[in-house]
Chains A and B, each alone.
Chain A
Amino acid sequence: MPTPAAQAQEFLLPVKTSFIVLTLAIAFFLNLLPWSGFGLLIRPDFVALTLVYWCIHWPRKVGIGTAWGTGLLLDVADATLLGEHAFAYSLLAYLSIMLRRRVLLFGLREQVWHILPVLLITQLAILLIKVYSGAVFIGWGYFLSSVIGSLLWPALSALLSMLLRLRPDSDQI
């Protein structure tokens, strides 16, 4: 497990915008896979997780605006009310940016306890919008997605950090 110091080091590595876009596109692709039934219920929100990662590690590059735009694209892809995911993701980005200093003090496994409430609040925001626009609450299983998502966090975070370290031009400052 990387120590806080190692993580602070990592934070200094340069990152290309194209790399951020690529990771978001891959997360988008994972979200768009033909999930259905129970799989859909427990599908972690990869886009949200990726956004949290970038907001925590690169708040200057990926912030509330980027999150909002990504959410808007997801709204179109999922044919939901425009602005639904956009709003939820901007809230997500805000929470991640507020929590980032605190989160980075912990190891990956302890970070899960910070990521979980952030994801839950995001899902709650989506749920409230849905219920307001006439949907019926589908049961507590709805929040499973956040639980699975936060359990995935250490793996995803480690993977993205590793890829960042692998960048060939990381000595290019």
Chain B
Amino acid sequence: MNTQLPPLFKRGTSPLTRLVFFTLLSLLLFITDARLKYLETFRLSLSVVIYPLQKLATAPGLLLDRVSDFFATQSYLTNENASLKQQNLLNAAQLQRYQALEEENNRLRRLLNARDGFRGNATLAEILYSGRDLFSRRIVIDKGRQDDIKPGQAVVDDIGVIGQVTRAYPFVSEVTLITDKEQTVPVEVVRNGLRAVVFGAGESDELELRYMPVNVEIQTGDELVTSGIDGTYPYGLPVAVVSRIERNAAYAFARILCTPNAGVDRYRYVLVLSSQPQIPENPLTDQTPATRSKAKKARRGN
């Protein structure tokens, strides 16, 4: 097999040298990935390599689901069918009312010469798996660039907002849940229209309203909906309900905890809202270097 000298004395570079080399390489990657965001294409190409394995790894769970579906009892199915029919009727009635309202709303908006609100399509996606990183709250869904998913789109389920697409790969995309520590959602309180920003707390069912003065007009049980101010989330999607308020005059801000509405950790199917409302550029941030480089990147992308 090996016709050369026995590799007894030939050891190549020492392990320590290699370790130092690869450590430096990793450091380089950290910095480029965390600060400069140049490695997205690299990440995309690697993701295609692992995609078959990722898909395969979800197979056992799916198989289990199929098997339990197959053995579902007749009475269960009949019950479910009945309740679904009822739900359908209710939905149909509500939909009619909704359509009428939408018509009316459009007419009024046109009268006011306002921009149209959110009217867009949504893509149904299935959750492939919840993220395996214990430190962040992310899920991976089975729709990607092939299905026109772009980073930044809002993801909702039938009750409310669950997160935002943060990375789109060719076949899958990664959704950061609103409970992630780094995720923020601009909201407003339904009862009095107070605007606020809700932050993820890193726990599975907790959100936090930060930077609200101690005497702020918020009560337990107040509903929070998206305010649509940043243009990422359309207006009026339910986000959370205020669950606990701690007002301590010793601190500058009140501690307000909320429970997310949507089944952030529960369902298998989600909707990715495919069109974002068009809003004009923010003139205040137009001159900062960050937006300029982003605009450059966008141009390069096209």
Q: How far is the CB of B258 from chain A (nearest CB, A)?
A: 19
Docked complex Cα distance between A129 and B27 (Å): 10
* B1: interface (CB < 8 Å): yes
* A80: interface (CB < 8 Å): yes
Residues of A within 8 A of B57 (CB): 29, 32-34
* B217: interface (CB < 8 Å): no
Q: How far is the CB of A82 from chain B (nearest CB, A)?
A: 4
B50 in contact with A73 (CB, 8 Å): yes
B15 in contact with A94 (CB, 8 Å): yes
Q: How far is the CB of A55 from chain B (nearest CB, A)?
A: 10
* A110: interface (CB < 8 Å): no
* B215: interface (CB < 8 Å): no
Provide the B18-42 mask, 1 if CB < 8 A to any CB of A, else 0.
1100110111111011100001001
Smallest CB-CB separation from A28: which chain B residue? B53
Q: How far is the CB of A91 from chain B (nearest CB, A)?
A: 7
Smallest CB-CB separation from A132: which chain B residue? B30
Smallest CB-CB separation from A72: which chain B residue? B46
B18 in contact with A76 (CB, 8 Å): no
Smallest CB-CB separation from B55: which chain A residue? A32
Smallest CB-CB separation from B127: which chain A residue? A34
Interface centre among B26, B27, B39 (most CB of A within 10 A): B26
* B81: interface (CB < 8 Å): no
Q: How far is the CB of A89 from chain B (nearest CB, A)?
A: 9
* B297: interface (CB < 8 Å): no
Residues of B within 8 A of A84 (CB): 26, 30
Instruction: Count how many chain A residues have C-beta atoms less than 8 Å from C-beta atoms of the other chain.
Output: 45
B50 in contact with A83 (CB, 8 Å): no
B53 in contact with A68 (CB, 8 Å): no
B133 in contact with A80 (CB, 8 Å): yes
B33 in contact with A82 (CB, 8 Å): yes
B29 in contact with A83 (CB, 8 Å): yes
* B143: interface (CB < 8 Å): no
B119-158 with Cβ < 8 A to chain A: 128-136, 138, 140
Smallest CB-CB separation from B7: which chain A residue? A60
Residues of A within 8 A of B22 (CB): 64-65, 68, 86-87, 90
A138 in contact with B135 (CB, 8 Å): yes
**Segment at the interface with B among A35-43, A114-122, A154-162:** A35-43
Q: Which 4 A-B pairs have the closest CB atoms?
A: A83-B29, A87-B26, A32-B57, A83-B26
B residues adjacent to A (C-beta < 8 A): 1, 7, 15-16, 18-19, 22-23, 25-30, 32-34, 39, 42-43, 46-47, 49-50, 53-54, 56-58, 60-61, 128-136, 138, 140, 167, 174, 181-182, 202
A residues adjacent to B (C-beta < 8 A): 14, 25, 28-29, 31-36, 40-41, 43, 60, 63-65, 68, 72-73, 76-84, 86-87, 90-91, 94, 97-98, 129-130, 133-136, 138, 142, 173
Other CB < 8 Å A-B pairs besides A73-B46, A76-B46, A77-B47, 10 of them? A29-B53, A32-B50, A60-B7, A68-B22, A73-B50, A78-B132, A82-B39, A83-B25, A91-B19, A136-B181
